[in-house]
A and B are shown apart, each in its own frame.
Chain A
Amino acid sequence: MSEERNMVTVYILGEHFMVPEGSTIMTALEYSGFQLKRGVGCREGFCGACATVYREKGEYKLKGGLACQTVVSDGMTIARIPFVPAEKAAYNLEELKPDVSTFVELYPSVFRCVSCNTCTKICPQDINVMDYIQDIIKGDIASAAQTSFDCIRCGLCALRCPAEIVQFNVGMLAQRLYGKYLAPKSPELETRVAEIEEGKYESEIKRLKVLPKEELVKEYYERDIKIT
């Protein structure tokens, strides 16, 4: 078998492997014979399951990324982080207030932030993680929710934080509080929910449920989207 592609060397858990240039870390892992059962999900950069830390050749910086989205470089050292142990507060959203006191109660470690910005630097989603943690200290829950919006909970921020804050769960709480209490209400949404509850769309849903896949796809792409 002739190897047409250029190969690069990567180090996975300290062992070296030759993998095709241009591979993602995930492809490189599988190419090298690792069977991924944990720490792999959508393979499209959306689910946050494949957090990975790596160092590039000759660089002191520890970088983070999603294995399915990060392209390998020659001499890269790789360690997957399939899971980040994290404190996750239990709460009933109905009983919470959208202000700083909720975070004092549920995630007091937020107040240990030293503004080192390590979280922002590691975030594969380019979120200003430190900024949203600081927003919470300042009581600006709406800004925290918006800034953290793209978080896919890969957990790298929490793993790197010297103050041991669980940023991604804190961000999720901010988003929930924002959605429930602070976001402007959409009257259209409320009307639509009421219509669904009244059964207005039941026959349509029944029809779609039994539609063959090709027709469903066709209808999906031909659907009419009204933007008002």
Chain B
Amino acid sequence: MENDKTETVKIPYFPGCTLKTTAKNFEQSALRSMEKLGVEMVELPKWNCCGTVSSLASDDLMKHLAPVRDFIRVEEMNNTGLVDNEYRMLTLCSMCFNTLKQTNIRVTSSPEDLQSVNQFMYLEKDYEGKVDVTHLFELLDSMGFDTIAERVVRSLDGLKIAPYYGCLLLRPKSVGIDNPENPSIIERFISSLGGSPVMNWEAKSRCCGSYHTVDNKAIVIKSVKGIIENAREFGAETIITSCPLCAFNLDNRQEDIMKEFPDFDPMPVFYFTQLLGLALGLGDEVLGLDDNCIDPRPLLKRSGLYE
């Protein structure tokens, strides 16, 4: 095939904790999809958990250490030849993306903070501020969604998909990948795969309840119920997200909703790389659809996208 001859781009890749543990299928879908699109995601050696939520206190630099360690890894990858002059640091997880980028903005805009962090981590090389934290959606956008559309072998024809942005892809504005009030990047992603994006639904960037799922499930259940019902009201058959915590809350907490509200009609939830992989022709052994809580296969079968 002509495409196979194009040179592979190697990009440093930060997986984050959850794609390595409870959501391996999300990662596999991404790695294999990007391979098909000519991108080799090179995992950072010895990366550290980013912390998942950025510290917002002005005087709490300790919580920024982990992201900076990871940036140092990316600079090292360039020095050791793992990647070639490639300082983009690719993330799939919205929380990693946001946390890493907030730290990067902070230390690159404050020389004093950078110096403090570098001095504290005297066993590491200094961070030089070269890293560009990049979300996979941004990378796909820069490659051109029309280029991706050309590689689609199994068009998600007619599948009505609600793009769920959640919070951390969009806000704060300095970090976000699109207009916080009127984003379009996931809609364009869905269209490139042949799907029909659900437009202008209200809950697309409403918080799912995030980490409250640990100690205040009730809040999450209420929020997720509202989000799913709003998506359905706007005609969605499924929801996609790029945050593994949103994915857990939107998907797994529907089981809790059904216990409380027997009439509740559940909706399958995809991680965005699962749908990307599906459209690029990857099989279930990579997509791991069996690991999704609300089984998406009946919907895919109805739409002619699964056996």
Contacts and interface: CB of A to CB of B under 8 A. Distances in A.
A69 interface: no
Contact of B20 (A117, A121, A131, A139): A139
Interface in A101-115: 113-115
Interface string A93-137: 000000110000000000001111100010000000011001001
B49 A138 contact: yes
B17 A137 contact: yes
Nearest to A128: B46
A41 interface: no
B69 interface: yes
A6 to B, nearest CB: 32
B21 interface: yes
Contact of A114 (B17, B21, B22, B65): B65
Given A121-B123, A162-B62, A114 B51 contact: yes
B146 to A, nearest CB: 36
> Of residues B51, B65, B66, which shows the largest number of chain A Cβ atoms within 10 Å of its Cβ?
B66
Nearest to A140: B20
Interface residues of B, number: 18
A113 B47 CA distance: 13
A142 B307 CA distance: 37
Main secondary structure of the interface of B (DSSP, over half): loop
Contact of B121 (A117, A134, A137): A117
B65 A116 contact: yes
Interface residues of A, number: 16
A32 to B, nearest CB: 33
Contacts, number: 40
B184 interface: no
B48 interface: yes
A114 B62 contact: yes
A113 B49 contact: yes
A115 B22 contact: no
B154 interface: no
A202 B130 CA distance: 67
A115 B20 contact: no
B22 A100 contact: yes
A138 B123 contact: no
B66 to A, nearest CB: 4
Nearest to B50: A115
Given A99-B21, A115-B65, A134 B48 contact: yes
B171 interface: no
Interface string A64-107: 00000000000000000000000000000000000110000000
B106 interface: no
A115 B20 CA distance: 18
Interface in B45-76: 46-49, 51, 62-63, 65-66, 69
A3 B48 CA distance: 53
A121 B69 CA distance: 15
Nearest to B70: A115
A138 B62 contact: no
B21 A115 contact: no
Contacts of A162: 62
A138 B21 contact: yes
A138 B22 CA distance: 10
Given A114-B66, A115-B51, A115-B66, 18 more contacts: A99-B21, A100-B22, A113-B49, A114-B51, A114-B63, A114-B65, A115-B48, A116-B65, A116-B120, A131-B46, A134-B47, A134-B48, A138-B17, A138-B20, A138-B21, A139-B20, A139-B21, A140-B20
9 contacts: A114-B62, A114-B63, A114-B65, A114-B66, A134-B47, A137-B49, A138-B17, A139-B17, A162-B62
